[in-house]
């Protein structure tokens, strides 16, 4: 079951904020992402994914493998490699 949630990130350069939508194919992936953001902050999450944000534009690396490990037993990077995340700019409201 796919779940969506919205987070806000702040760039270290210029201090602008951009809302992102993160879609996960499995609810546990959403929980993992939420926990990572809560524990380590959005900047760390963006850096871990290799996301580039020039002038409010977003490019994200996508990785997909069938299974992913328990986040408490493995590093974030190994979890990232085994997770499918689709990140995109939200339309302006």
What is the pLDDT averaged over residues 18-42? Answer: 58
Alpha helices in 1-93 (DSSP H): 27-40, 42-49, 76-81
What is the pLDDT averaged over residues 16-39? Answer: 55
Q: Which tens digits make up the pLDDT trace of 32-62? A: 666 766 777 766 666 555 443 332 223 333 3
pLDDT of 72 reads: 41
Q: Give the DSSP letter of residue 92.
A: P
The pLDDT mean for the chain works out to 45
pLDDT of 46 reads: 60
Whether residue 7 is predicted with pLDDT greater than 70 in this model: the reply is no
**87: Cα separation from own chain's centroid:** 7
Tokens of 6: 């919205």
* Number of domains composing the chain: 1
Helix, coil or strand: residue 88:
strand
Tokens of 11: 């760039």
pLDDT, greater one: 47 or 78: 47
Whether residue 31 is predicted with pLDDT greater than 50 in this model: the reply is yes
The span from the CA of 25 to the CA of 43, in Å, is 23
Query: Where in the sequence is the domain holding 58, given as residue range(s)?
Result: 3-89
pLDDT of 40 reads: 73
What residue has token string 């995340």? 85
């Amino acid at each position: 079951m796919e779940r969506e949630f919205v987070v806000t990130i702040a760039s270290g350069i210029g201090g602008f904020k951009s809302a992102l939508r993160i879609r996960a194919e499995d609810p546990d992936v959403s929980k993992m992402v939420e926990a990572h953001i809560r524990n380590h902050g959005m900047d760390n999450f963006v850096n871990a994914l290799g996301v580039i944000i020039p002038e409010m534009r977003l490019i994200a690396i996508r990785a997909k493998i069938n299974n992913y490990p328990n986040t408490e037993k493995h590093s974030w990077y190994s979890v990232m490699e085994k997770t499918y995340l689709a990140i995109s700019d939200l339309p302006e409201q």
